[in-house]
Structure 1
Amino acid sequence: MGQSGAGILSAHGFSLALPVSLNHLQGMVTNLFKQSTKIAALAALGCLSNCKKADAPLAPADLKFKSIAVAPFAAPAAGDDFSSITWGTAKAQPLATHEIQGEVVQGKLYIFGGFDVNKRPNWTPTKRAYVYNPDVDTWASIKSLPQEPNGSNFGGGTHVAVTTDGTDIYMAGGYTSDAAGTGQIFGTKQVWRYNVATNDYTRMPDLPQALGAGQLRYLNGKLHYMGGADKSRVDTKIHLVFELNNPAAGWKTLAPLNNAVNHPGAVVFNGKIYVMGGSHYQNEDAITQRTLQVYDEQTNTWTNMADMPFALDHILSSVVVYGNRIIVLGGQTGYNTPGKQVFAYDPATNVWQVLAPMRAAKSAGVAAVLNGYIHYTGGNFSAINYKGTPVFNTSTPSIELLPSADAFVRNGSFGTANYGTDTALVIKGATANNYLRSVYLKFSLQDISTVNSATLSVYGKNIDNTNSLTLSSFGIDDGSWQENSLTFTNAPQPAAGALSTAVADSQPKRINFDVTAFVKAQLAGDKNASFVIKDASNKNITVQFASKESSSNKPVLIIR
């Protein structure tokens, strides 16, 4: 893709005289939207047209270039420059509950189980499950949880560890109902997959022992189960892994946690697993923890990073990623003492920030980012679905850089083909010849003096089906490649270890990767930042982005 249009796109927060194209205007409008919730902005329609067709032959179900329209700005844009959240409410859950678990798939929030409010004062799990659609603000019942024992009006679980691969939802361990449906059992070996597309469940290989109140995270095609407690409610440092593409291997043991905790929070960020808080012991004996434990898959090691501002537990499903920060909402500061606190952690600086508190003290609910809003629903036998609007700090200027070069490469018989003038960038993870495609982008940092944060932002979607797909970004030290000569055969190889991951689905949108640490290093070096984006899990799904030759929605590197 040619050299025209490279350089600084906009510098938000101060005046900069540049010719303004449609894509430039969209970036400015996005920033203006952050600065005032009263601004109503619509982006112009753009499409990825005139894409190169000369790389045939292709199977009919293979690469299909499609137009991508820009959706109206209807929600805050994801960023990391806010210190408070304005809280309102959305449609309440159908049933009040506590100790629930949930995950977001394809823009919808799925919640499962928890304690049954109708059986209080007994602590009995429910098998009820629901999905929330933020676009129409409605809840709907989905198929009940399958955990055993179960019966006509009992079953399900609480304290279940859940995660998603962007397509389905996985559940491991937890507290199940007793056989009478009047109490709970403190641990199970059961592992289940909720199949979102078909609204049913598939039994998976059991954990090696009964566990509950632990964490489950998906990373690079694997499920990681960490921490919690055994059936006798003794805390454990256990760390197990299950490879989804090799189920016959079962669960294997990896490096244990540094601190054995139950009821911790966890997220995956930049290709690493972050486990925060939790407690030693339970109920009246609980001692809440402040630790932040970070797992590096490349070295199979845990590292303790900066402690949280104060100790918390009961945050199993209430930690989210927003922009370049990890946000922890609510949680218990002591036994039966929920709090309003909101913390933000910046992995690039290893610094925690205390944000403005929530509207109500909450614990053991589910937090989610939906359409740019932060939701907190359920917990403490409440049905309220709080909806938070981040209040962005408008004094922080940002600079958006267009690529100096971008292209995609393809293997097999297309290994010497160049796609440097295409208006689309294509990714497809595959093990078969002729199908694998990866995207290369390069940015000049010559006009940049300081980097506090850096976000690689591309616009596109999954063009094959409605599934979500986790994409990985990698840094390239060799920035000598040129877009008009780049091919699969001569493409430079990325450094080991993903810089960050992000999810693409069937909805066209900005897909953002945190690349702060790499960009800082490149600024101190040759002042060129090159990246590869690819599907490291080889799911055989085609994702298409707008290139810098597209009429709109070009890739940008956002520097703050």
Structure 2
Amino acid sequence: MKTLVPYLILFMFSAAISGKLLAQPAIQWDRTIGGSGNDFLYAAVRTPDGGYLLGGSSDSNISGEKSENSNGSKIWLVKTNSTGIKEWDKTIGIGDTGIGLRKLLLTSDGGYLLGGVITDDDVNVVIKIDKNGVRQWLRRYARGKTTDFEAMEKAPDGGYILGFTSLLDESQSQGPIKGYDYWIVKIDVNGRTQWEKVYGGAGSDQLESLQATSDKGYIVAGASNSGKGGDKSDPAKGYGDFWILKLDPSGNKQWDKTIGGPGGDGHAQISQTPDGGYIVGGITSGTAGGDKSENSNGADYWAVKLSATGQVQWDQDLSGKDYTEGADGESFSVIIQTADGGYLIGGTSDSAAGIDKSEEGKDFESIDLWVVKLAADGTKEWDKTVGSGDWNHLQSIVQAPDGGYLLATSSENGIHGDKTQDSRGGSDFWIIKLAPENVPSPQTLVRINAGGPDFTTATKKLFIADQYYSDAFNVTSSIPSGDILNTTNDVLYRTARNSPYCFYEIPVKNIQVNVTLHFAETYYGTPGKGGGAGSRRFNVDIEGKRVLTNYDIFAAAGGAMRAVQITIPVTVADGILDINFGTGAAGQPSICAIEVVSTNYTLGPLADAYVRDGNFSTTNFNGSSLDIKSTSGDPSANRSSYLKFKVPQALTIAAAKLRIYGHNHEDTKSISVHAYGVNNDSWTEGSIVKNNAPAASTASLGYASVNNVYKYYEIDVTSYVKAQQQSGDEIVSLLLRDPSNRNTRMVFNSKEAISKPPQLIIQNVANSTARLSQEEATFEQQEKELSVVFPNPATDEFTVLISRQHAGNISFQLVNNAGESNPIQAAERVRPGEKVRFDVDKIPVNAGIYLLKVDSEGFSEVVKLLIAK
């Protein structure tokens, strides 16, 4: 790789995150979607609700996930939720004519724009549909002998820009523009042509991509073997080059650039970068030379960063090794810009591991997906090989809301390689979700020693070493000794992060939390340093809102070398708690420690099971589901579910809500599931049956309307939970049933399910004004409720702080994303309330996201763990 322009700002920012190696992301899940025929996925986009819209071609009739007949090849759209589960599908055609999808856009009115080709007469079409799949308009576009649909994007004025490769008959060619050309068409919001332009040289010029630019013009990229002449300003650099065109809003050429090496370069995909320049991805071969800084190992990926005027700033050649005659090597498909300012480039590969490729293929002759993550300066951060053992071709990469990535392809294989679901017939849609890059799981309890290492207080509270920050100047301070008044934890206040500007992005569950900021002035006003009140005044913003303006630590604490804390209630809505420290009237910000403590407590069930009436009245149902059904007919069909929770007396309850994850299993109707209090807590999940199940002790506490959508349904049970606590009873038993005899079965996850178990959410009344010495006891119960894993992500080792709810023998299991369990053994004796260390190298697992199940007599819990070894 060669770098032509230094990036001081990028270097300064990278200093703030230095040492954070990005591990190769694990596969979180994959989904096979198809019918009994052939279904080919061509495009995927993220929808505003966090799900995905998949588009392709299908000749399947009703079968599998396909709800409508195709009767030939038709466009097939599939809408999924955020976890890839189908929500709806739509088959779209033009009578009996064969039609295939090539491009897909979400429109500003909530509908979709489909770009496709009528296969019978090779005519390109654009179809506008509303959000329900109803066609609003259709337009045909053709020019000359052959027209290939290559690109479709939104235009700055609300219309659309289309890109084609067009071939005229020889008799139609004019002047120096011959052969294949770029054909660009601007249409309005209703598909009517506003202008069209043709660009080319005397050879073949194939348009590959285009995009609107910040100046309301357009950037266009493709491949060309034309020399200088026609619309080309530069001579050819090899036997195939990238050809870049910059157009004004009316489609007139402003400049063009030919980018390439001595070999062949093509399949160029381009987009504008935040600095006004451009990133181009494509395929390359041949030796270094021209704009190419590295030799290729056969056919390789090629990423090229351009300035705003098309000058090469850096380039990166990416490949595996052992390229041999007859093998394809790497075949580029797509490059996207990632949320962290880098790039993800992807396509397919049949190369062996080596050079830039860290993994072997899934089979000897398979062609796998291969994606490579680049930093903003082009440096490789990680790569990932994904395959099903057949020929996969990457069509789209979509960045997910959680920072991970969705890969979209097609596959003919059944369960094989990374594919976990059987084929539906011929070829199917196949989507793969990659986890975020070393992003830790959202937490309910985080303590950070800003500017310092791990520190454990006298009451066994762990403040982890400084992390989750971005600090362009990376300035910390520390004093070796000195008595800090107002606290017994002097060490915590002797270190601080104090930069002109820094911010923390802390992964926190979407709940209300108390954020406690810990300060001490260890410079101004101390012996020999001078200053005092007014010397340091800075601002603090949390979740985009100003919470402290010109905050003066010295004045607030009553002098130097004194600890002071401020606690602020905050509601987190996006999984990340943002805390910004910025300069104010004097000096620069300084923060010693940050605590984030949930005011909501998530309690898992001690026991849960369901019972059946009639012929099943003596049968115990204790598995991974909780069933509910009620009918006035056959009593054997009736099902009710029981749940038992322990609610500690130390909690001061403001609200209590029961959450159960599941759906209406039989149809789309909304069924009211009611919750009832049960005073008799003597039942156990291993022995409860209809004949011995306790009756409800209350009227309905509330209900949830349950339909066919998988989600958490919530019932307010505050009145009963508070009454139980006030009576001195820590155990809360609840009964779920349908009192309306709707004769419909509803199925929910039990505590034995791998994910999304039942929850009792307790909103606690917290003391938000406590100082640290008092606060040490205020939140002690939080650590007793759930076990804590740190560090998370784990590389060489991780430690589990065992919840005090456990008793007796304690066991551990790691569960992967396929649901496979792997028991792990602690090196020392395990006791509740103590820390247990695990050596990652002694656990036979690969890097990835796992569920750590901690089980004991009477209590079970699951903690998410990311292993990044």
* TM-score in same-fold range (> 0.5): no
Output the TM-score relative to the length of structure 2. 0.28
Larger Rg, first or second structure (1 or 2): 2
TM-score by length of 1: 0.40
